[in-house]
Amino acid sequence: MKTETAVATKLSSKSLKVSRERVDPNAFDVLTKLKHAGFQAFLVGGCVRDLLLDAAPKDFDVATNATPEQVRRLFQRSRMVGRRFKIAHVRYGRNIIEVSTFRKAPSGNEKVNGNGVILRDNVYGTLDEDAFRRDFTVNALYYDPHEEAILDYVGGIQDIKKRRLRLIGEARQRLAEDPVRLLRALRFQAKLGFNLDKTITEHAAAASMHLQDIPAARLFDEFSKMLLGGYAANAWRLLQRMPICRTLFPATPPDSLLVRLAMENTDRRIAQGRPATPGFLLAVLLWDDYCAKFKASAAHLRGKGTSEAHAIAAHDSLAAQRRIIALPRRHAYFVTDVWRLQRHLEERRSKHVRKALCHPKFRAAYDFLLLRSEAGLVDQHLAAWWTEAQQAPPHQQDAMIAALNAPRQRKVRKQQRPDREARAAAENL
């Protein structure tokens, strides 16, 4: 790695318009206790960057020279977590402050795989060593709210002003050590609207290939951060331009309107404080693949076992994707339910209508149907029917369901000419 001088520029946080009033009181408490115990302690990473940008930090991370064990002993309500890195979580009710111990930049002696990807780098270091092992310059700023000072070893302040994402050290090597940094670059680009330094784009193709070596569980964490942070539409647009999109989502068709609408919808939900789940996004990303697999299975079973065809298609589609990005089991069940319910929502067989309305995943399945309808993949009248049915009082619901069985109603429905896309989607199910 290029050696940058390990002398920090110390800036007054006040002069940078960062007020300590904006620091989370729990994080402040962690800093105070660590300092009283004789340790160094700073806020670091995204929270400092976001405070400098006058944005609301998502969480407040602390870096210290205390080891996780020492942190653990200092705070009663704390525990050690982490597979790759051991860190301490200090709990204040529902708020968790992550406390990580200063680490060294890779020395070249770490355990690496055949492609140079570091498998373990858990070697503790000093404050300046910690600064150089971080990913982007804008993420390597240390804020001490007691002293009202910000330490900058790598030109992060300048890059924030220039709105530029630059890897610390040599981009080729930093991406080779950890190809996930490429995904993180896109995430921060989407979130902050910063420009990627050209050294990152130059080495993006190689890093994309090496993402295959990253454990699927770690990619699930990054996937969730990227698409459930309130900037999914931007992130997806950027992802689509890069070869990593094919590496991560080989079964997702490029330029899918359904996917774009789902990303926009996710951002809206998050902005409104409504829940958004990784399962819903996976259901969208794999929808075409699932439909194709369902069609193939149904043909193979000669239309006899529709449920079986569904089970096979859902399993196969999810299994292939989960080899790349792990999906915890409960989310996989969620996806399977949402897919299965689509058929019931489309068919509207009276015995299934009530069951569907009471199903715990009905709301998600209905949201999914709305998106499909918005994307022109399913008749809009169908979505409108379900909107009405779930809001209707019981006697009106009964009447709506009874009307589905009436022969005249059937005829009317047959006469409605679904547009081509809706018909194609219906055939897929």
Which active-site residues does the annotation give?
A: 59, 61, 135
Write down the least CB distance from residue 386 to ligand ATP, Å: 36
| Residue number, nearest CB to ligand ATP | 46
Helix 329-347 crosses helix 362-374 at what angle (to 10 degrees)?
Answer: 60
379 touches ligand ATP (CB under 6 A): no
**Contact pick of 65, 139, 234, 297 for ligand ATP (by CB under 6 A):** 139
Interface residue with ligand ATP, options 104, 181, 260, 295 (CB under 6 A): 181
- The yes or no reply on residue 179 touching ligand ATP (CB under 6 A) is no
Q: Does 278 bind ligand ATP (CB under 6 A)?
A: no
128 touches ligand ATP (CB under 6 A): no
CB of 65 closer than 8 Å to CB of 39:
yes
Among 43, 46, 298, 317, binds ligand ATP (CB under 6 A): 46
Residue closer to ligand ATP by CB (options 111, 395) is: 111
> Binding to ligand ATP by residue 106, rule CB under 6 A?
no
Does 61 bind ligand ATP (CB under 6 A)? Our answer is yes
Q: If binding is defined by CB under 6 A, does position 200 make contact with ligand ATP?
A: no
Q: What's the rounded Cα separation, in Å, for the pair 163 and 138?
A: 9
Choose which of 180, 196, 369, 378 interacts with ligand ATP (CB under 6 A).
Answer: 180
Q: Please report whether residue 97 would count as binding ligand ATP according to CB under 6 A.
A: no
Compute the least distance from the CB of residue 168 to ligand ATP, in Å. 8
**Between 138 and 389, CB nearer to ligand ATP:** 138
For residue 222, the minimal CB distance to Mg ion (Å) is 12
Kindly state whether residue 84 participates in binding ligand ATP, applying the rule CB under 6 A: no
If binding is defined by CB under 6 A, does position 343 make contact with ligand ATP?
no
Give the CB-nearest residue to Mg ion. Answer: 46
Among 134, 166, 210, 359, which residue interacts with ligand ATP (rule: CB under 6 A)?
134
Report if residue 140 touches ligand ATP, rule: CB under 6 A: yes
Q: Is 267 in the site for ligand ATP (CB under 6 A)?
A: no
Binding stretches for Mg ion (CB under 5 A): 46
Residue 334 and residue 185: Cα distance in Å, rounded? 30
Could you say whether residue 43 binds ligand ATP (CB under 6 A)?
no
Tokens of 362: 């009905």
Binding to ligand ATP by residue 68, rule CB under 6 A? no
Report the residue number, 25 or 250, with the smaller CB distance to Mg ion: 25
Cα(424)–Cα(399) distance, integer angstroms: 30
| Window contacting ligand ATP (CB under 6 A); options: 5-13, 135-143, 264-272, 416-424 | 135-143
Residues 188 and 194: their CA atoms lie apart, in Å, by 7
Sheet containing 9-12: order of strands: 9-12, 149-152, 141-144, 41-44, 61-64, 95-101, 87-92, 78-81
Interaction partner, residue 179 (Mg ion, ligand ATP, none; CB < 5-8 Å by kind): none
